[in-house]
Amino acid sequence: MVITKKTAQKRIEALRSEILRHNHNYYVLNMPEISDFEYDVLLMELQALENKFPELITPDSPTQVVGSDLSNGEVPQEFEQAPHQYPMLSLSNTYDLQELTAFDERIRKTGASDFTYACELKFDGTAICLTYENGRLLRAITRGDGTIGDVVTQNVRTIPQIPSTLPSISGFDSKMRFEIRGEIYMPFSSFEALNAEREPENRFANPRNAASGSLKLLNPEEVRKRGLHCVLYQLLGENLPFDSHQAAMQTAKQLGFPISEYSKICHNLEEVMAFIRQWDEQRHQLPFPIDGIVIKVNELSIRELVGATAKAPRWATAFKFKAEEAHTRILSIDYQVGRTGAITPVANLEPVQLSGTMVKRASLHNLEQMRLLDVHLNDWVVVEKGGEIIPKITRVDVSKRDPNNCQLPQWPECCPDCGTPLVIEDDEARHYCPNQEGCPTQTKAWLLHFVSRKAMDIHAGEATIEQLYNQGYVQSLPDFYRITREQLLTLPAWKERSAERFLQSVEASKQVPFARVLFALGIRHIGETTAKNLVEHFKTMDQLQAADRETLLAVQDIGEVVADSMLDYFRTPRHQQMIKSLQQLGLQFQSTEAGWVQHSLALAGKTIVISGTFSRSRDEIKKLIQLHSGKNTGSVSGKTSFLLAGNEPGPDKVRKAESLGIPILDEDAFNALINSNNNTENQ
């Protein structure tokens, strides 16, 4: 078939639109809809069309620019942005060993000879650029769009492997300014522990998404808990004393940087291919995710000779492993109800071996995904493990479909547990059972969430909740505080000691701080961090319940979805009565944090944006604003009272404040403001 220029242009526009959407899902939202291989197929098709019709290439084509992870307002983030000293390019990649021969030939055509290759595992995480000066970590920036990135320094400092200060070593001035780049990743053990604490519908699909999402959390202490690791693989700076990548990495190791122990110098293409085949077989034995091998010219002089395109260096490429697949048949589909009421379809499969484990079930995510796959019962499907962990169905083998023995699955109109008609929100693909208190599965999951360690920490597991619910002793949250020893002793296998232990934990839970109580209520979209932010802002349940939509949206990390969820919850009479009952039973519904009592009204009615670094941490600055009756928000707008600018404030925020005529105060002026007249207005 002959492709005309008009046909090519139409297809190119469609491919660019689709690829940009997938870039946004992958880099910004950390919610990819397709596999890396499927994405690369789209990109290769676009590249082929542009090569055939070079006049149709545009500077903003996905083949010409780096995918961007910059914050853009669609996700609740508050990061400054800063430029990279050197462009942070992406890598070309291939799935075909024969294409490595062409890569090698292209390098040699430049006149390069007598060089070696540095081969490294391609860690499946999120790229990071660290800047050091005077022997200290100055800044950490994400890849962003390759030119500028989000500043995540405070979060990176929580990763134990990354040194904050550098030792003095011979042969390298560790006080000079330089950059070192690498990958932040999440080991399988951290990934599994993180997902075990999340509801099924909110679990990360793979370690890469978990690492990227964790790095963009606003609270560094939450980042610290995520178990992130780092590996560094490129050192950049002016007049560096190295002639090879290998020498640079040896120096980086002496400085205390985490360097991969799996690298190898290969003297020819045969050794490169042997290294690739070795790790394609052994990758499943690693405690962290990799998705390929990076092949780089080792000698820096040859790199300079070979050069780079606007998007990628010509002296490096990545060979990517195809995800391990298995073919099996769908026997049936279950529809599971989660704690929040979300309905998740799960396919029951003919058991099949995949990545060393027997796979019997795989998530189908939601109705939209089922329709996109065109799933039928008895279909043969391809199953792969996303990030080598979670089984997922990637496609249907329609060629094997038996029209006489296949059936289109029927999505339930009512909850499969309680029979309540399901609802679907306009902006979500998921269906929900709205009968939170009356749906047995949902109610038991809600009760189990309430007693969990990070919530009320009551000594009750799934089996205990099942007993208490089925016996009718606990049907709602206040029931935990009304149950008697005599009732407990009527349950099978319960003795005096187990009853006493349970009742003691119930009594102790009355001292659980307000933030954990709020999280324990199980309000949809309210996680641990969101609950903490709400309590820090409102201090008491009465103030929180009285907040309107605009007031809620002013709180850090609170977007429209969360605000609407809060309003819906608090306007429901049964929730109002339940909270009243829990208050009367002695639970904590106001902050007991030391020092939160309002200090003054110096900032009353003022909305303040902070930017840059200060003599105190950003959390301390935010608390001071709160203690003096002010409100902190993340972005400059017409409602901003002033911009509090520390060292190296975000240029975009400064420009916007200046354009709107909003005052810009430094830390000294801020201190003078909150300390003026001894701030005795409220005393």
Show which residues are catalytic: 122
Q: What are the E-state strand segments in 148-276? A: 148-150, 178-185, 229-236, 264-266
DSSP per-residue string spanning 31-93: --SS-HHHHHHHHHHHHHHHHH-GGG--TTSTTTS-------SSS-----EEE-SS------E
Q: What's the rounded Cα separation, in Å, for the pair 542 and 565? A: 17
Q: Count CB neighbours of 517 within 10 A.
A: 24
Question: In residues, how long is the chain?
Answer: 683
Measuring CA to CA, which residue among 539, 593, 597, 541 is closest to residue 566?
541
Amino acid at 548: D
Amino acid at 52: K
Q: What's the rounded Cα separation, in Å, for the pair 647 and 651? A: 11
CA-based torsion, 247, 252, 255, 258: positive or negative = negative
> What ranges in 169-244 are assigned the alpha helix state H?
188-196, 207-215, 220-224
Q: What's the rounded Cα separation, in Å, for the pair 675 and 683? A: 14
Residue 678 CB burial class (10 angstroms; 0-12, 13-18, ≥19): exposed
Cα dist. 548→316, 404, 534, 536, 567 in Å?
54, 57, 13, 17, 8
Backbone φ and ψ of 503, nearest 5° = -65, -35
Write the CB contacts of 30 (distance below 8 Å, at least 6 apart in sequence).
204, 209, 212, 213
The token pair that represents 186 in the structure block: 């999440």
Cα 321 from chain centroid (whole Å): 23
The owner of tokens 């000294």 is: 668
DSSP per-residue string spanning 120-146: EEEE-SEEEEEEEETTEEEEEEE-TTS
Cα dist. 225→155, 190, 211, 611 in Å?
11, 9, 12, 25
DSSP per-residue string spanning 541-569: HHHHHH--HHHHHTSTT--HHHHHHHHHH
- Residue pair 211/185 in contact (Cβ under 8 Å)? The answer is yes
